[in-house]
A and B are shown apart, each in its own frame.
Chain A
Amino acid sequence: MFARTLLFRLSTALVTLFGVAVVVFVLVRVAPGNPIAMMLPPGATEEDIARLTALYGFDKSLPEQFVIWLGGVLQGDFGTSITLRQPVDQLVLSRLPATLELSVMALFIALALGGAVAVIGARRRGTGTELGLDLGSAAVLSIPDFLWGLLFVLLFGVLWPVLSISGRIDPRIEFEFATRFYVVEGILRGRFDVVGSTLAHMLMPAMALALPLAAMIAQVLKQNLKEVLRLDYTNLSRVHGFSETAVILRDALQNAALPTLTLVGVQFTFLIGGTVIVERLFAYEGLGNMAIDAVINRDLPLIQGIVLVFAVLFIAINLAVDLSYALLNPRLRNG
């Protein structure tokens, strides 16, 4: 049953990816602005334009270009970036770890903050504390991530400059990375200066990304907790003498967390989408920052590569959420 579901989801994922590839390919070509016009020098002639157009393969028809590109993709060749002049797959894979580390750190912060607020809210339900937390969550939710970013830059970058404003690591640190996962590799190789510097650079953008999600988690999880805490089995725990906090953490949290899991999965994809603006603000060298440059420069092969990777990420996350939900939920697990 589980294997059949997995197979079905994987096959639909492939169809989705193909659809994304077609849409992106066509969209970036019909959108205004072409890369050749952007690189024309002052004295360029019609012949120069034709030469550059042919050099980058834009002289062929749209279907021809698509077939060539798709053929390359199927063989692992995503083309060469027009502006960065390197293979697209290498460029995208070199930036992906930065975005993944940032997103995962933001997710952990969101889960920790949102979870803590939900538990406190449920523990203090019906009191002024719950009302205060609800109002706080609503306020946090109403402010977009990039504004949080600007606020953090002002607070922790300028007024109380304890955190780094831009980049991913202190440029003075000498370290040859085997992978691009700075935090993971730093920990594994015992280079805590690398870990510290990377975390110092990631904290503000991760917080900016995490706060809206944390507020959402807090609201949904608290509501679920309150409903579960009305059920008989939690009353039984109370009768057995467990404290209210213990009842929440030991009995209620697991059941209340299941519906939240779906929300977190969906919102995590939005969080990854949010990295585009936040990475730009903090000059963080991730995939989102690269995407903006690619769009500004109309670097069509790079845009296509980045969008495909984002699509794969979104599909993988949704798949993971569905499967984990199936595994965690006994009713679904047993068919």
Chain B
Amino acid sequence: MRRHQLLQSQLSCGLQEAYNVPRISGRASTSSVHDVRYFATLLRGVNFVNRATITVTERGLTITVEEARTLLGTAFIFCDIFDEYAYHSPNPPVATSQGSEDADIVDNVAFEVPLNTLIECLNIFGTAGPASTTVSSSSKYKKWRKAGEDSDHDGDDEHGDRGRSVAGRGIDSYFTGGSEKRTSMRMTYAGEGHPLTLLLAEDATGPTTTCEITTFDPEPHLELDFDNSRMVLKIILKSSWLRDALSELDPSFDKLTFIGNPPQEPGASASRQKQKFREGSKPMLRIQAAGTFGSTEMDYPNDRDVLETFECTRSVRFSYRFAHISRTLRALQNSTKTSLRIDEEGLLSLQFLMPSPKPKGASGQSSDAFIDFRCLALDEEL
């Protein structure tokens, strides 16, 4: 594969200069992140199988994890979440000499690492933990939300007020208590056969940690491309609506079914509000879970405050293993928005927007990372 030719690329995300940590390698410019919590949260989102493939490109990192040839989880982390970021392409001439069939493949370097180990290393000082993020979200999802209590307030999101609410959440989630210590990191990868090197420190006077994580040649992953032209269902909703539904489900369920029906008068959006009382027989979106001990159904109302986007071309009904869907919960819990898409063959794509802790205005535009899950449907004939 092409990847194997890329030898000396280097990625680094490092400590701020203030910490005055010596560079691991003089060859590359450095990049840094002063608080690894956001990075660690993204990694935890896909931490359901230990072996992960990290692909490095000019624009950022993707972390890909696969389970049972059915479920594929990918975290897209853009370079601007790092304070500094540098990628040195190992072989630019090769990229141009390649045929046109490679034109859409971005110049990259890939390697596999044990993801658990990477996360443990980031949390070596105990200050990359999920504590602050999960406390705020778990305290919320335990209780039922009353209409008008929180959802009204969050409903502002879609009216262009998103920046403010993301920043608010970001500060709550990542910067609770100004005195709290943070771990800063510099990460370097020198190319095939080299370990992934992390340099971690809490502050200038405290201890420093160096980690060298063994990397492996990447194994080819499942290719689950989502073709938008074959999409039959597309929903965008606030993550909390899906999170509340899925976290209610008992782990003993083994099958989860998504049922979608086209809205009954698709053209007349004004009359939708009134219709929702009459469409009991044909729900717009229903989540059905079944297991040895019973089954449960949850319907979503046809309400703009709940389903921000709902596109459905025909009646859809696809089932998935609940164990696979529940793998997405950790990412879901830390996300703000969810896009759920299903194509005609039942391939499910769940994308979670992970709010970045950086204030939008500070560093120009900062793109939020997102985590994408693809899951194949169960074969109903069996």
| Same assembly | no
A: which residues have CB within 8 A of B? none
